[in-house]
């Protein structure tokens, strides 16, 4: 899922410095799962903003709201009767949320309160790692289920660069060298020859490199 | 608790103003002890930054 982290408090406080009344909208999707923008996080951030402003002597009214998701118009619609009662609306959803909200309600200002980072999963409670770069042409089966596009710092597709040490990437000792893992797995499974097979160069047009993408399911379009 | 104290620190409020103690409802004297302890601690820290001086 999409992993995001809440922005530093200073940045958020700066966004609302001229406001007296704001609405903070959370999302029950990805940001709830990664504990960045769910119900609890909305309540906590709302409290923090109120406390900080009370301390300054300029109270801030913060209305808390949760939407099922902020990436579907039917949920965005739920704010139609209330969005304009505030000086600004803060969204705790991933980057998609504030954009959908802005499009639906052009007269209001929407601020993001999280930094959307990557597509990944939990490796441990509280720790999420990037697994997918959304390249649009998934071929992880060629690498025994380990994606070099997302997990190799250089997105190399033909083999290790030789810069790794003890299975760690030269970019940072905290990054696993995925090619080290891929080669080991291939060796264990007796499929090392797969890496010698000729493959055409990757078509990056299906990735972000080809421009903003669209996905259409013809049978669902009315 | 750590999270609350860290957040308070970010907001420029003394983190020691909030403490968590573990005791049972039968421990009356211990409760009184804790109350005294916290009161003394807070008195030392002075008025809370949440109460801006009005003059």
Interface of A with B (CB under 8 A): 9, 44, 48, 51-52, 54-55, 57
φ/ψ (deg, to 5) at A157: -115, -5
Model confidence band, residue B47 (pLDDT cutoffs 50, 70, 90): confident
CB contact under 8 A, B11 and A51: yes
- Residues A174, A127, A90, A22: what is their CA dihedral angle, to the nearest 10 degrees? -120
Q: Nearest Cβ partner of B11 from A44, A52, A57? A: A52
**Mean pLDDT, range B26-49, rounded to an integer:** 92
Pairing label, strands A21-27, A61-67: parallel
- Of all residues in chain B, the one with the smallest CA distance to A59 is B50
Model confidence band, residue A84 (pLDDT cutoffs 50, 70, 90): very high
Residue B55 has pLDDT above 60, yes or no: no
Interface of B with A (CB under 8 A): 7, 10-13, 49-50, 52
- Of all residues in chain B, the one with the smallest CA distance to A13 is B11
CATH number of A2-117: 3.40.50.2300
Q: What is the pTM of this model?
A: 0.88
CB contact under 8 A, A48 and B7: yes
Distance between A57 CA and the closest CA of chain B, angstroms? 7
> Are A13 and A56 within 8 A, CB to CB?
no
What does the angle CA A175 – CA A118 – CA A219 come to, to the nearest 5 degrees?
Answer: 135
Domain boundaries, chain A: 2-117, 133-209
pLDDT tens digits, residue range A164-221?
999 999 999 999 999 999 999 999 999 999 999 999 999 999 999 999 999 999 999 9
> Are A30 and A3 within 8 A, CB to CB?
yes
pLDDT tens digits, residue range B5-27?
999 988 888 999 999 999 999 99
**Mean pLDDT, range A130-151, rounded to an integer:** 95
Distance CA A105, CA A125 (A): 37
Closest CA to A121 of A147, A156, A154: A147
From the CA atom positions of chain A, what is the Rg in Å?
A: 22
């Amino acid at each position: 899922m999409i992993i995001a982290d809440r922005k530093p408090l200073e940045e958020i406080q700066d966004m609302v410095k001229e406001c007296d009344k704001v609405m903070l909208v959370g999302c029950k999707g990805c940001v709830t799962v990664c504990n960045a923008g769910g119900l609890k996080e909305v309540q906590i951030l709302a409290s923090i903003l109120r406390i900080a402003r009370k301390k300054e002597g300029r109270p801030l009214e913060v209305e808390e709201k949760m939407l099922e998701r902020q990436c579907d118009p039917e949920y965005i619609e739920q704010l139609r009767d209330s969005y304009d009662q505030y000086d600004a609306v803060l969204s705790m959803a991933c980057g998609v949320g504030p954009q959908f909200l802005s499009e639906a309600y052009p007269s209001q200002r929407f601020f993001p309160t999280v930094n959307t980072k990557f597509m990944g999963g939990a490796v441990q409670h509280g720790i999420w790692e990037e697994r997918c770069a959304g390249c649009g042409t998934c071929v992880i089966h060629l690498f025994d289920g380990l994606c070099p596009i997302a997990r190799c710092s250089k997105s190399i597709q033909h083999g290790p660069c030789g810069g790794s040490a003890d299975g760690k990437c030269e970019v940072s000792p905290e990054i696993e060298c995925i090619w080290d893992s891929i080669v080991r797995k291939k060796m264990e499974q007796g499929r090392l020859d797969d890496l010698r097979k000729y493959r055409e160069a990757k078509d990056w047009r299906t990735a972000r490199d080809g421009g903003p993408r669209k996905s259409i399911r013809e049978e669902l379009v009315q | 608790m750590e999270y609350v104290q860290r957040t308070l620190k970010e907001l420029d409020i003394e983190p020691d103003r909030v403490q968590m103690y573990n005791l049972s409802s039968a421990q009356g004297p211990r409760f009184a002890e804790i109350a005294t302890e916290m009161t003394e601690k807070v008195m030392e820290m002075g008025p809370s930054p949440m109460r801006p001086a009005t003059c």
